[in-house]
Amino acid sequence: MKKINVVTLGCSKNTVDSEHLMARLAAAGYEVLYDSDRTDAKTVIINTCGFIGDAKQESIEMILRAAEAKKAGRIERLFVIGCLSERYADELRAEIPEVDDYFGARTWDGIVRALGAADNPELATERSLTTPRHYAYLKISEGCNWKCGYCAIPLIRGAHVSVPMEMLEEEARKLAAQGVRELIVIAQDTTYYGIDLYGKRMLAELLRRLCRIDGIEWLRLHYAYPAGFPDDVIEVMAAEPKICKYLDIPFQHIADNQLTAMLRRHTKAEAMELIRKLRSAIPDLALRTTLLVGYPGESDADFAELEEFVREVRFERLGVFAYSEEEGTHSALRLRDDVPEEVKQERVERIMALQRDISLENNRRRVGRTERIIIDSRQGDFYVGRSQYDSPEVDQEILVPAASRRLFRGRFYDAVITSAADYDLYAEIK
């Protein structure tokens, strides 16, 4: 049996694409490995990220290493798919001719035909999971219509296209049958789901249907754009016990002139009202956000306003990035990257120092509480778990001493929080 190694870089959306691809290759008779350094797989597929500078560099370095392995005879065929090849296929073909072929983020399934496998529509909802078997990502749409000033995603992934609800239900049922207990619903903007297919936002209805699937115990919502956030999604999150009290809304900034420059299509007042509505309807909600500092024109006053926003809202989870210019975007074409790099980095550090204090205070308030957790792994002397307030790979963990009793990955337990650190909690099983 021929072996194929699929290497996935970048975001969880790429993970889902790779898992669909792997299922099709397995159905065609290939033995599929993933992210493996084994050298006996003579065909390698690299699913790349092309979003920001560091991710692009990581993808290029991986391709170059594989190209060297091909020249040395350790692999025979090399393919590149995903966002990087969507953006730079012509340049990559010229610079790295060792690659047999390049397929974009929107045409990655072409590799199935290139490898001699049938393109079977019946496999559209099949996945070969690369995550721990108890959780999986469910990508409900592709692309984005918002065209924020700094973002290359619409250039790479195209316009918003929703996956039909029936296909998502079928995929979710199959994942549950494989042992998945937590579904993490993802898209570039999950709240936009359904507009292109049904003429209106249908995320709330999709969530209700997913909650009815046996075996799924947690539903988690990621990447919700704040403009036009549907009220019925708030209602369903408050009402459905399977939906984690967790929401990822990337606000990016709060100063109105920065929001306007970023083409964000909402105001500070609208953002604050949305936060008020969410926390009023779901009092124990864990809010995650992403911020962008150093965008063209960001003044000291703008940044001070952003700091005050973080102090006031006290997000449970927060990440911050320094602006980097992406070719072809509004900001690259129309604005001057005028904030010095050292100022950008200082602002990142200031926000993260502020968030570290907020996170510690939030965590200390949880000491003594009993929370339901799921165990992801064992690392050394501790089992590593998460509550409904924590998403895998990006959020904090709850550490349980392994010496106390044997626990099992993918199972739920009631745990008493015993102590708190900046970004981790410690607990004992009841």
Model's pTM, two decimal places? 0.94
Among 263, 262, 320, 335, residue whose Cα is nearest residue 288: 320
Note the CATH number of domain 123-364: 3.80.30.20
pLDDT of residue 39: 65
Closest CA to 413 of 364, 376, 379: 376
Q: Where are the domains of the chain?
A: 3-122, 123-364, 370-429
Whether residue 221 contacts residue 185, with contact meaning beta carbons closer than 8 Å, is answered with yes
DSSP 8-state class, residue 252: B
Range in 84-88, 147-151, 394-398 with the lowest mean pLDDT: 84-88
User: Would you state the structure tokens that stand for residue 244, as one six-digit string?
Assistant: 């984690």
Domains 123-364 and 370-429 share a fold: no
Question: 370-429 sits in which CATH class?
Answer: mainly beta
Say if residue 90 is exposed, middle or buried (CB neighbours under 10 Å; 0-12, 13-18, 19+). exposed
Report d(CA 303, CA 347) in Å as an integer.
8
Q: What is the CATH number of domain 3-122?
A: 3.40.50.12160
Q: Tell me, what's the pLDDT at 260?
A: 98
> What's the rounded Cα separation, in Å, for the pair 310 and 82?
34
d(CA 120, CA 26): 12
Q: What is the pLDDT of residues 394-425, one digit of tens each?
A: 999 999 999 989 999 999 999 999 999 999 99
- The candidate with the shortest Cα–Cα distance to 22, out of 5, 41, 40, is 5
pLDDT at res. 38: 65
Give, as one character, the DSSP assignment of residue 186: E
> Half-sphere exposure (CA, 13 Å, Cβ side) for 335?
23
Mean pLDDT lowest among 6-15, 53-62, 120-129, 216-225: 53-62
Report the distance separating Cα 63 and Cα 78, nearest Å: 9
